[in-house]
Structure 1
Amino acid sequence: MNTSKQLHDRRAQRSRTRLRKVGNGRPRLSVYRSLKNIYVQVIDDVSGRTLVSASTMEKDLRASLRTGGDIGAATEIGKLIAERAIAAGVKEVAFDRGGYRYHGRVKALADAAREAGLAF
């Protein structure tokens, strides 16, 4: 029997494989969420490096957020990652939900990034 971590890793890998096929060389917006925080990176898979990142662990955000693990925090991170990506010259990304359902914090982050100008 597979553990929940193994099933999660399988879902995440399936998502990334699909993004490689349909991503057309666009950078990948990767999401990781824990119970207390949420982390986002824009990754260039061709060169294998992170272009920009944001998380609720950053000091300036931590002071303004009630908690790092709610929808409000995910919305703020979505806006911040979009601003940083556009400043770095990235306007289009492929959204990698990381094996998580497109619901709740993941959906809030994606919607906020779209509203801030990031296209995916």
Structure 2
Amino acid sequence: MVANVLKRKIALRIKRKKRIRAKISGCESCPRVSIFKSNRTLYAQVINDVTGTTICASNGGKLGIKANKAGGQALAKDLAEKMKSAKIENAVFDRNGYLYHGVVASFGEALKANGIKL
């Protein structure tokens, strides 16, 4: 029974993810910032969808960051530094099917606070 609930939860997130991705896309001047969260850590990457390449990425596991609000802010600070070194100041935020609250919201707000326009 628990497995069925988990399958439904994941299926609904994938459905939201497809709905979001139908509306947003990243390009050279305004790439897409995608976030993924697991129970233990956070991952974020900056993607150019025209060429299908990852411009820069940040891994919370390698930085020792946990999947909480403070970890989201630390990951955003690290990713913002990498984006600035790649001369990227504008981006489109892909919340990857997650609701915009908690960890995802703290990540987005910290990116804005570090000089990235979303």
Which of the five TM-score ranges fits, normalised by the shorter chain? Answer: 0.7 to 0.9
Instruction: Name the counterpart of 1:32.
Output: 36
Instruction: Name the counterpart of 1:118.
Output: 116
RMSD: 1.8
Question: Are residues 1:80 and 2:78 paired?
Answer: yes
2:53 to 46, 49, 55: 49
Amino acid at match of 1:79: K
**Is the CA contact (8 Å cut-off) linking 2:27 and 2:49 kept in structure 1?**
no
2:23 to 13, 18, 25: 18
Amino acid at match of 2:75: I
The separation in 2 between residues aligned to 1:115 and 1:27, in whole angstroms, is 18
State the shift of 1:32 in Å.
0.3
The separation in 2 between residues aligned to 1:14 and 1:33, in whole angstroms, is 19
Kindly, what percent of the aligned residue pairs are identical?
29
Distance 1:17 1:115, change over 3 A: same
Amino acid at match of 1:117: G
Q: Which sections of structure 2, spanning at least 5 residues, go unmatched? A: none
Q: Which sections of structure 1, spanning at least 5 residues, go unmatched? A: none
Deviation digits for residues 86-115 of structure 1, max 9, x if unmatched? 111111110000000000000011111111
Aligned residues: 112
Instruction: Name the counterpart of 2:100.
Output: 102
Instruction: Name the counterpart of 2:11.
Output: 6
Amino acid at match of 1:108: S
Amino acid at match of 1:11: R
